[in-house]
Structure formats: C-alpha cells, structure tokens
Amino acid sequence: MIVLGLTGSIGMGKSTAANMLRRLGVPVSDADAIVHDLIGPGGAAVAAVEAAFPGSVENGAVNRAKLGTTVFGNPEALKTLEHILHPLVEQARDQFLKQSQRRRQSVVALDIPLLFEVEADKQCHATIVVSAPPFIQAARVLSRPGMTMEKLAGIRRHQMSDLEKRRRATFVIPTGNGRRSALQALARIVRLSRRGRLPRNGR
C-alpha cells in the first residue's frame, strides 16, 4: 500500500486537493476532521482540553472560537494544546492505515497541515505540497469570516514556510492555475503510485 502525504500552508488549496484525491478513488485521512471529532460533542479530547483551559467547553464540546482566542499568540498554550491533541490524532491516523491495509487499498493519503513539522512524512512513500503565490494565498484566507492580516501572519509564523515545504516535497501542485490543472497533476501522481513508479526521492 502506497501512502501519500498531503500538505500545504493555509489558503493553498489543500482541502480542495484532498477532495480531488477522493474523486480519484484514494481514501484520505483528514487530520483537521479528526480534531473536530476529538473536541466536538462527546469527543475524546474534550475533558483534557477543559482541564487545561477551564471554561473552554460549552454543552459538551470545545468552543473553538474561545479556545482559539486563548491559544492565539501564546506559544506555551499552543504547545499544551498540541500535547493533548497530537497523540490522539496519531492514534486515529494509525487506525486509518491499518483499516486501509486490511481493505487492501493500493493508495491512501494523509491530509496533515503540519505534515513535516510533526514528522508524519516519515510514514509516507511520497509527499505532495499544494502551493500558490502569496497574493493568492492572502486573498483566499482573508475572504474567510473573522480572518485578519494579523491572524494570517501568526499562522504563517507557526507553520513551516511554503518555500521549505516545496523543497522537501516529492511533488508540488500549483493551485493558482485552476482546478483542472491541479486535478490532472494529482491524477498523474495517483497513476504513478498505483504502478509503483514513484520518483526516487519517494520512500
């Protein structure tokens, strides 16, 4: 089974690329979706988050806006949150890989925003980075409700630079050229994976 790692900085089109992979028949484990489940109603991380950040839970779920206000711009608080969530996300990811192996999937993908930062790329045979020019990235991000340049700058500081991600990637998918171009590039990667013809810098 070939494991592809999918990542990209905020606003680069990673979620769109993940959906394209699904259209191509590739099961995708979405780290953000896992986190939503962990801190949602009855989630496995709710109690631990409340213990670390009192008052962040309402009606059995973490209030994401309130928690975000607490950890934004606070490296220590963010580190505490990551220590709670990352092990649980890894468990869910490992379960996904085991289930996919049992189902004899030929190719799967791990959609992880911090793929390189948490060294999850070591689990992958090849990595895909989605990228777009900074002005396109900013336009996409600032169109989101409640987003500001200050928040975008803070997110960029926390994430590995786009340049470094592209340097580490097996494949780089430009997302500023339209969806059709990105889909064609992803389809080519899936074909190479299924045929066992990944580039030499893939594991």
DSSP letter for 124, please. -
Tens of pLDDT along the chain (203 residues) come to: 999 999 999 999 999 999 999 999 999 999 999 999 999 999 999 999 999 999 999 999 999 989 988 888 788 999 999 999 999 999 999 999 999 999 999 999 999 999 999 999 999 999 999 999 999 998 999 998 888 888 888 888 878 999 999 999 999 999 988 899 999 999 999 999 999 888 865 54
Written as one letter, the residue type at 165 is K
DSSP letter for 122, please. G
Q: What domains lie within the chain, and their CATH numbers?
A: 1-27+117-198 (3.40.50.300), 28-104 (3.40.50.300)
Contact call for residues 75 and 32 (beta carbons, < 8 A) = no
How are beta strands 61-62 and 57-58 bridged, if at all? antiparallel
Q: What is the pTM of this model?
A: 0.90
